[in-house]
Amino acid sequence: MPTLITHATPPPGITSFPALPHLTALLRLLTATQRQSGSEDSLSPLHELLRAQALGLQGQDGLLPWAALQAHSLQLPAAAAGEGWAWLTPCHWQANADHVRMADPADSQISAEESQQVMDALRAFMAEDGIALHGLQGGHWLALGAAFHQLPTASLARAAGGAVDHWLPRQPQAQVLRKLQNELQMLLYAHPLNDARAARGLLPINSFWVSGTGSLAEDFDAAQDDASKVLDALSGLDAEAWAQAWQALDSGPIRALLEQARRGEPVTLTLCGEAAAQTFTLQAQGLWTRLRNRLGATDLPALLQSL
C-alpha cells in the first residue's frame, strides 16, 4: 500500500528538528526512486496532485475533482453532460487599488451557521444561473452547474491569505461566477449576519472561492481509496505542532512501515513538500548497498528541507 505524507517540509520558525528514529531506520532500507517537482504557478499544489493520483483520480492541474468525489461519497447525482461539480468557499475579499486580497477562511472564524445563512441567501441567485447548491460540507458549499464543466480553478490553498487576481478563472463560462460574486457582495453589504460579525470584530463575508472542479471518470472505483494511505497530519501547523505531529507519525504509521520493510513486504513511501516530492521503495539491494545504507547517516533535516 503506497503511503503519501504531505507538508513534510519544515515550516518557518523551526529551531530544532525532531528525532525520528523509525523514519531514519526505514530510509536506510528503502531506495530513492522517483522525484517530482512542483511549480508555484500551478493551480493545484503538488501535494494535491499526488493525493489525487494516490486516490485513483484522473485529473490535471486545476481539474482535480474534489467536489465531484465528495458528491459521489454523499451519493448525490452524478453531473449530467455539460455540467460539473465545484466547491464554493465563503470568504472575505478586500479590494485594494491594484489587487483584491482574500482573508484566509481558516482564520476568519466563519461558523457553519453563518455559512448556511449565506448559502441560503445566495441559493435563489445561483438557481437563476443554473447552479444548484447541495449543502455545506467541511466549510465548502457543494455546487452543480454548467459553469463548472471542465473549468480549471485554483486550489483554495493558492489564494487564501493573499492576492486573488492571478488565480481567478478567465474563461468565458466564469463570467457568471464573477456576476454572482458581485451580487453576493451587494446582498451581504448590510446583512444582519455581517453586522453581528462586525460587532464581534470579525471581517464580513462578502464573496466565495471556487475550487475542486473536475470530473470523475465513468469507471471510477471508490474502493481505490483503500489502496493507498494519504497522511495529512502535518498540514497547516506551526513549528512546534509540526514537530510533534512528525513524532506521532514516526511512532505510528512510519513504525508500521519499518516493520513491513523488515519482513520484506512491499513498501512505498512518498514525502511531499511545497516544491518537490521524493518517493522511496523497498528494492532488492546488493551486499555493499545494504552495508552502506546501514552504516551511513541519513540527513533528515536536509532531505525534508529539499522538498
Q: With 90 as the cut, is the pLDDT of residue 295 above it? A: no
Confidence of residue 133 (pLDDT cuts 50, 70, 90): very high
Q: With 70 as the cut, is the pLDDT of residue 190 above it? A: yes
Contacts 24+ apart (CB under 8 A), 97-101: 99/163, 99/164, 99/165, 100/163, 100/164, 100/165, 101/162, 101/163, 101/164
Confidence of residue 5 (pLDDT cuts 50, 70, 90): very high
The confidence score (pLDDT) of residue 132 equals: 95
| Average pLDDT across the chain, whole number | 90
Confidence of residue 287 (pLDDT cuts 50, 70, 90): very low
Centre a 10 Å sphere on the Cβ of residue 121 and count the other Cβ atoms it contains.
15
Measure the CA angle with vertex 181, ends 178 and 183; round to 5°.
Answer: 110
72-81, 90-99, 215-224: least confident range: 215-224
The predicted-structure confidence for 56-75, as pLDDT tens digits, reads as follows: 888 899 999 999 999 999 99
Alpha carbons 92 and 70: distance in angstroms, whole number: 24
Average pLDDT in the 41-50 region?
Answer: 95
Average pLDDT in the 22-26 region?
Answer: 95
Name which of 243, 182, 233, 213 is nearest 71 in CA terms.
213
Which has the higher per-residue pLDDT, 205 or 283? 205
Average pLDDT in the 216-228 region?
Answer: 65
Q: With 80 as the cut, is the pLDDT of residue 99 above it? A: yes
Average pLDDT in the 167-179 region?
Answer: 94
The predicted-structure confidence for 246-261, as pLDDT tens digits, reads as follows: 999 999 999 999 999 9
Q: With 70 as the cut, is the pLDDT of residue 224 above it? A: no
Contact by Cβ (8 Å): 213, 52: no
Which has the higher per-residue pLDDT, 204 or 15? 204
pTM (2 decimals)? 0.89
The confidence score (pLDDT) of residue 218 equals: 79
Average pLDDT in the 230-258 region?
Answer: 94
Q: With 70 as the cut, is the pLDDT of residue 53 above it? A: yes
The confidence score (pLDDT) of residue 192 equals: 93
The predicted-structure confidence for 269-279, as pLDDT tens digits, reads as follows: 999 998 999 99
